[in-house]
């Protein structure tokens, strides 16, 4: 039935994936965002409002502020203070002349193994129905209001009962421009095995963004699965009814791990 539910930029509610399921099950919408998404989730019975800050996250944010809010995800801007406001470079000079602090040029942030926390999971039940979900806090030190690939159907996750499923992680701002999981599922629909479909989707991104960091897994409706990655070593886990324990598969850059 291609049902989808998603939430983004949601505060005060811990269980984002449960909120997304509520959107799918109890609305005709696909995506809710911001504080109205939080209000919807709480009204539907999820706990909240809740302070989601942890001592670790507060310490990281404090250190980042002490480092003049560097690195961050802004580009072609200058700041008249350590952490903004920011202005485009072509207009920043006039603003900076009135501020004795001077200007600070933003340094770019990079998405890596320790700067995000995406989890994607696909499930095939005994009737052959397929579901996939993704949950993430997003990239560390992102610009407020940023929405990554997590809630975008076809980017971080996609599934079709007739074909299979895909889940992705990495530099969501780059990956969502390619809808890699939609690409994977459609490639499998055309007859590609998961190994080739995953590798092809990653290659399409790497050809345009050679420095991007990302990975994905692909699984077809028969349960054949594979992973592909670029810029890091990626691991994904598998468990089936025939398996006594979860098995972890390691995929190295420019290679694909495949099993049935």
CA–CA separation, 63 and 83 (whole Å):
13
- Residue 118 appears among annotated catalytic residues: yes
**Rounded Cα–Cα distance for residues 148 and 229 (Å):** 19
Task: Collect all residues with Cβ–Cβ distance below 8 Å to 45 and sequence separation of at least 6.
Answer: none
DSSP, collapsed to helix, strand or coil, labels residue 194 as: helix
Count CA atoms closer than 13 A to 45's CA, side-chain side: 5
Rounded-to-integer distance, Cα 55 and Cα 60, Å? 9
Classify 7 as helix, strand or coil. Answer: strand
Name the binding residues for substrate.
146-149, 169-172
List the one residue out of 177, 251, 174 whose CA is nearest residue 215. Answer: 251
Please pick, among 27, 118, 250, 255, the residue that the annotation labels catalytic.
118
Cis peptide before 177 (omega within 30 of 0): no
Write out the catalytic residue numbers: 118
């Amino acid at each position: 039935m291609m049902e989808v539910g998603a939430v983004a930029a949601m505060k005060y509610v811990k269980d984002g994936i449960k909120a997304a399921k509520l959107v799918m099950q109890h609305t005709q919408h696909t995506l809710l965002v911001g504080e109205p998404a939080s209000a919807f989730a709480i009204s539907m019975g999820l706990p909240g409002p809740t302070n989601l800050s942890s001592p670790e996250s507060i310490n990281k944010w404090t250190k980042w502020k002490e480092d003049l809010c560097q690195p961050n995800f802004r580009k072609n801007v200058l700041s008249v203070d350590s952490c903004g406001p920011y202005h485009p470079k072509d207009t920043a000079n006039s603003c900076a002349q009135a501020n004795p602090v001077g200007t600070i040029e933003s340094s770019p942030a990079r998405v890596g193994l320790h700067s995000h926390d995406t989890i994607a999971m696909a499930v095939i039940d005994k009737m052959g129905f397929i579901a996939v979900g993704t949950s993430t806090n997003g990239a560390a030190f992102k610009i407020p209001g940023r929405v990554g690939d997590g809630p975008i159907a076809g980017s971080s996750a996609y599934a079709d009962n007739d074909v299979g499923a895909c889940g992705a992680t990495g530099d969501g701002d780059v990956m969502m421009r390619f809808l890699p999981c939609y690409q994977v599922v459609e490639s499998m629909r055309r007859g590609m095995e998961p190994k080739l479909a995953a590798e092809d989707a990653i290659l399409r991104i790497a050809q345009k963004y050679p420095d991007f960091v990302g990975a994905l897994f692909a699984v077809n409706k028969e349960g054949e699965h594979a992973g592909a990655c670029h810029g890091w070593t990626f691991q994904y886990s598998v468990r089936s009814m025939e398996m006594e324990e979860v098995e972890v598969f390691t995929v190295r850059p420019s290679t694909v791990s495949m099993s049935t």
